[in-house]
Amino acid sequence: MLRLIFVCTGNICRSPMAEGLMRHRLAAEGQDASGITSMGTHGVVDAPASLPAQQVCQQHGVDISGHRARSLVGEEIQEADMILCMEPMHKQMVGAYFPWHRDRIYLLGAWPGKETRKSIVRDPMGQSMAVYQQVFADIQRHLDRICQML
């Protein structure tokens, strides 16, 4: 079973979309998706995914309505095969708190290659629905690439 954690700031937009999409893909392939999760560096604990994030996911057949935000969970990070962050700040923060796992912490937009400004998955919070749709498309594109290599 793949143990994969997606990390963003509040765990209410980007990382729940990535988690939901990855779970959806694995389930469609008949694979175990129970090891796929998400967290926030400043998680708005127990908050649902933002309504626009839920709506964009729903448009693509992905249900994240049951998601509840949470902060970093050390035990799960220690057990993760890979931690995929949305921005360099997230990667640095997770690495600072869990330095012995730096070899498993990457930017979603860069793994397994070199990080550039294009590696950042921007935060759609408070933006238009079009921005949420673009962020979903970016996450989907990155997961397309990553899933081929896993």
Q: Rounded to 5 degrees, what are φ and ψ at 105?
A: -105, 125
Extract the tokens encoding 60. Answer: 């693509």
User: Of 14, 57, 85, 138, which residue is the catalytic one?
Assistant: 14
Extract the tokens encoding 142. Answer: 């990155």
* Digit-coded pLDDT (tens) for 69-81: 999 988 999 999 9
User: Of 25, 68, 122, 123, which residue is the catalytic one?
Assistant: 123
The pTM of the full predicted model, rounded to 2 decimals, is 0.95
Answer yes or no: 85 catalytic.
Answer: no
| Better-scored residue on pLDDT, 7 or 102 | 7
Would you call 91 helix, strand, or coil by DSSP?
A: helix
Answer yes or no: 14 catalytic.
Answer: yes
Contact 59, 78 (CB under 8 A): no
**Can you give the pLDDT at residue 1?**
81
Answer yes or no: 8 catalytic.
Answer: yes
| Better-scored residue on pLDDT, 12 or 101 | 12
* Digit-coded pLDDT (tens) for 110-147: 887 777 777 899 999 999 999 999 999 999 999 999 88
* Digit-coded pLDDT (tens) for 44-89: 789 999 999 999 999 999 999 999 999 998 899 999 999 999 999 9
**Can you give the pLDDT at residue 114?**
75
**Can you give the pLDDT at residue 107?**
96
pLDDT > 90? residue 5: yes
Query: Residues of 3-36 as b/e, b for ≥16 C-beta within 10 angstroms?
Result: bbbbbbbbbbbbbbbbbbbbbbbbeeeeeebebb
**Can you give the pLDDT at residue 59?**
97
**Can you give the pLDDT at residue 122?**
95
The dihedral through the CA atoms of 96, 98, 103, 106 has a sign that is negative
Domains of the chain: 4-149 (3.40.50.2300)
CA dihedral 91, 93, 96, 98 (to 10 degrees): -70
Would you call 147 helix, strand, or coil by DSSP?
A: helix
**Can you give the pLDDT at residue 147?**
83
Question: Mean pLDDT lowest for which of 12-21, 96-105, 125-134?
Answer: 96-105
User: Of 8, 13, 57, 85, which residue is the catalytic one?
Assistant: 8
